[in-house]
Structure 1
Amino acid sequence: MDDLDRRIIAALQHNARESTTKLAAKLGVARTTVHERITRLEDRGIIAGYTVVLRDPDEGNTVMVVVLLEVQQKETGRITKRLEAYPEIRQCLSINGEYDLMVSAEAPRIEDLDILVDEVGRIPGVQRTNTLVVFGRRIDRV
């Protein structure tokens, strides 16, 4: 992949329905170049498909936090299973560094997330947490 491929992918992530003619004009290349590049990216499996992203009706009415968790390594699987039970938790990532897991969670009120973080902190094997409140989404590629 080169810079043009990355720019095509970024444009498609923004609007996958945009015509190759419009993409080519935005990128300053020939329409056939864009078409051939997209076909090649699809054939190589880099572009695996296209989808529709629906707007969450509650979007804009929620508070989001990122919670960093330091956990006992041998308890990671069990802790992850417990985290799955919380509908507020949208994502749990295994990370390196000072913390072991990074959890993102959303709820209608900050008080709901305060309760969630307290409960997560009480899960056996969770040694400590660090919670960050998200002010806004600068880039959000779903």
Structure 2
Amino acid sequence: MDELDRNIVTLLGADARMSVATLARRLKVARSTIQARLERLESSGVIVGYTIRLGEAAREGRLRAAVLLTIEQRAQAAILTKLKAVPEVERAVTTSGRYDLLLQIAAPTTQVLDNVLDQIEAMTGVLTSESLIYLTTRLDRAV
């Protein structure tokens, strides 16, 4: 990616609905250049989709938590398969250090969150878990 590609990604990260014409105008390049760059960014896997970011108003009424798991390594594939079936699990990433997996969870109530945490902790191969409930978002630069 060169500077133009990074600028395109930055602008689309702020507003995924921005038109090709608007991108071209803001970046002072031809519309056809933007279109070609977008096609290349998409085909190379740099851009895999266009979406919206929910603000705090949309997140109200949802409890969010990070769950840190230590797991038996031979059980990782089975655990990930089971996690995919839990709709409240938004993201699962492997980590370095003391924990093996970091999960991001969203639930509508404390009861649902508690049930999800119990379900995860009961999975075969989960050795330990630590849950961190999100309180207030102070900074969010995620695209």
**TM above 0.5:** yes
| Matching of residue 10 in structure 1 with residue 10 in structure 2 | yes
Q: Which moved more, 1:70-79 or 1:36-45?
A: 36-45
Higher mean C-alpha displacement, 69-78 vs 112-121: 112-121
Matched, 1:42 2:11: no
SS at match of 2:96: coil
Q: How far did residue 63 of structure 1 move?
A: 0.7
Q: Are 1:138 and 2:140 an aligned pair?
A: yes
TM, length-normalised to structure 2: 0.73
Q: Give, in whole Å, the separation in 2 of the partners of 1:76 and 1:6.
A: 35
Aligned length: 138
1:51-106 alpha-carbon deviations (Å, 9 max, x no partner)? 45496xx6422011111110011111222222233222122222222111111111
Contact residue 92 and residue 101 of structure 1 kept, 8 A: yes
Question: 1:84 and 1:16 mapped to 2: Cα distance?
Answer: 26
Corresponding residue for residue 64 of structure 1:
64
2:33 matches 1:31: no
Determine the structure 1 residue equivalent to 2:124.
Answer: 124
Gapped regions of structure 1 (runs ≥ 5):
none
SS in 1 for 2:106: strand
Percent of aligned positions that are identical? 26
Shift of 1:24: 5.0
Assess, with a 3 A threshold, how the Cα gap between structure 1 residues 37 and 54 changes in structure 2: closer, same or farther: closer
Matched residue of 2:91: which SS? strand
Give the aligned partner of residue 115 of structure 1: 115
Q: RMSD value over aligned CA atoms?
A: 3.1
Question: In 1, are the aligned partners of 2:92 and 2:103 still within 8 Å (CA)?
Answer: yes
Asked whether the 8 Å contact 1:24–1:30 carries over to 2, the reply is yes
Q: CA contact under 8 A between 1:71 and 1:128: conserved in structure 2?
A: yes
Do the aligned residues in 2 keep the contact of 1:16 with 1:50 (CA within 8 Å)? no
1:93 aligns with 2:90: no
Would the alpha carbon gap of residues 52 and 98 (structure 1) be closer, same or farther in structure 2, given more than 3 Å must change? closer
What residue identity is the alignment partner of 2:118?
A: D
Q: TM-score normalised to the size of structure 1?
A: 0.74
**Greater displacement, 104-113 / 69-78:** 104-113
Encode CA deviations 1:90-127: one digit per residue, 9 max, x unaligned.
22222222111111111112332133223322322211
